[in-house]
Amino acid sequence: MEEYRARQLWQENSLIERGFLMNRLITLTAGVILLLLSLLFAPSVMAADNETYMVDVVDGSSLLIRDEPSSSGEVVGKLQNGDQVTVFDEAYGWVKTYYNNQVGWVASQHLFPVEQNQDSLHKRKQTAMYKKQNGSRLTEEKGKQKQNSVTINNEQEQSQTVEPLTGYTFVLDAGHGGKDPGAIGIDGTYEKDLTLVTASKVAKNLKASGANVILTRYDDTYISLEKRIKISNRSNTDAFISFHYNSFPISTVGGISTYHYTDDEDLELAENIQSGIIDRVSLKDKGTKQADYRVLKKNSDLSVLIELGFVSNPAELGEIKTEAYQNNVAAGISEGIQHYFSH
């Protein structure tokens, strides 16, 4: 009997120990899973250039500073129109700054670059040759601007390459957003989603070429036409590019077109962009057209609006939604912009 009770007690203790170990294993496994999920879904933060920006909220209300890059973050402070902040990082349309010696995040759509000296803008240069010889001259290629030169004294020749769009600022406008879906494709695709993808890809390309890029929206947010115009007019903008996708009752209608308001520089930029796109995609070339769209007519900056295909056309919609099409369109637009500003 005692031997039986001892065996039973040993079995009970063994079960308890196994249960304890199993609980620990489950706890550790859950912890590892949570850690992996947190790493997988953590915001991808892209470092900014430590630049200073000015607050400008359209309706004059305060700009809230939050403890995380989300509208659900705790409010840790407020900024007023005209206040200046230095930006350190960017994540999902929010920028990181410091407020009262602590990290704070603010919505980037309400920040605009601090006014720069006009002489520092429009630096249309590609390569500067430094001829280091006594009494020689340094000449900078400036595209459409006059060449500048200074005298330097040294004895070697050296070249320094500058990114082709360094010094330029572009406002990229992803059409529609939020409560405004834009055109709706035959499969339920929203224009607002397509334009945001395109604008984001073009932004990446332009930044790689040295440009400063501002998006009118970074997510599925409704932005009024007036606010889009104000963002452009207040940002020392070299060009405003608005992205759209078209729709028509007849499903066979298709093609790409680029719109401009004036027939001078706006038209020239539109032609460069249209050509860049058509060189890379198979959709019909519908050319450039004059139009009095509000974002063009009321814009004080160089501006164009691009219709990148018809979501009402089954064949075009199928192509528009592919990664290859979006990459090619973004490359064509970026090349068109670069060609205009460097020639």
Q: What is the pLDDT of residue 107?
A: 86
What is the location of CATH 2.30.30.40 in the chain? 46-113
Please give the residue that has the higher pLDDT: either 198 or 105.
198
CA–CA gap between residue 315 and residue 308 (Å, rounded): 13
Contact status, residue 311 vs residue 245, Cβ threshold 8 Å? yes
The answer, yes or no, to whether residue 291 has pLDDT greater than 60, is: yes
CA–CA gap between residue 42 and residue 37 (Å, rounded): 8
| pLDDT band, residue 208 (cuts 50/70/90) | very high
The CATH architecture one would assign to domain 46-113 is Roll (2.30)
Strand, coil or helix: 146 = coil
Percent of the chain's residues with pLDDT above 90: 50
| pLDDT band, residue 145 (cuts 50/70/90) | very low
Least trusted range by pLDDT, from 77-81, 238-242, 286-290: 77-81
- DSSP secondary structure string, 34-90? HHHHHHHSS---EE----EEEE--TT-PPEEEESSSSTTSPEEEEE-TT-EEE--EE
Please give the residue that has the higher pLDDT: either 220 or 50.
220
Q: What is the pLDDT of residue 279?
A: 97
* Residues 103-116: tens digit of each pLDDT: 898 887 777 766 43
| pLDDT band, residue 128 (cuts 50/70/90) | very low
Q: What is the pLDDT of residue 342?
A: 87
The answer, yes or no, to whether residue 150 has pLDDT greater than 90, is: no
CA–CA gap between residue 82 and residue 184 (Å, rounded): 39
By the 10 Å C-beta count (0-12 exposed, 13-18 middle, 19+ buried), 101 is classed as exposed
Please give the residue that has the higher pLDDT: either 31 or 252.
252
Residues written for the chain: 343
Q: What is the pLDDT of residue 54?
A: 77
| pLDDT band, residue 238 (cuts 50/70/90) | very high
The answer, yes or no, to whether residue 212 has pLDDT greater than 50, is: yes
Q: What is the pLDDT of residue 243?
A: 98
Q: What is the pLDDT of residue 236?
A: 85
Mean pLDDT, rounded, of the chain: 77
Least trusted range by pLDDT, from 124-128, 205-209, 283-287, 304-308: 124-128
Least trusted range by pLDDT, from 86-90, 228-232, 326-330: 86-90
* Residues 11-33: tens digit of each pLDDT: 555 544 555 445 554 454 555 44
Least trusted range by pLDDT, from 41-55, 81-95, 228-242, 276-290: 41-55
First-to-last alpha carbon distance for the chain, in angstroms, is 101
What is the location of CATH 3.40.630.40 in the chain? 169-342
By the 10 Å C-beta count (0-12 exposed, 13-18 middle, 19+ buried), 276 is classed as buried
The answer, yes or no, to whether residue 242 has pLDDT greater than 90, is: yes
| pLDDT band, residue 66 (cuts 50/70/90) | very high
Percent of the chain's residues with pLDDT above 70: 69
- What would you measure as the largest C-alpha separation in the chain, in angstroms? 111
Q: What is the pLDDT of residue 21?
A: 46
The CATH architecture one would assign to domain 169-342 is 3-Layer(aba) Sandwich (3.40)
The answer, yes or no, to whether residue 165 has pLDDT greater than 50, is: yes
Q: What is the pLDDT of residue 53?
A: 77
The answer, yes or no, to whether residue 140 has pLDDT greater than 90, is: no
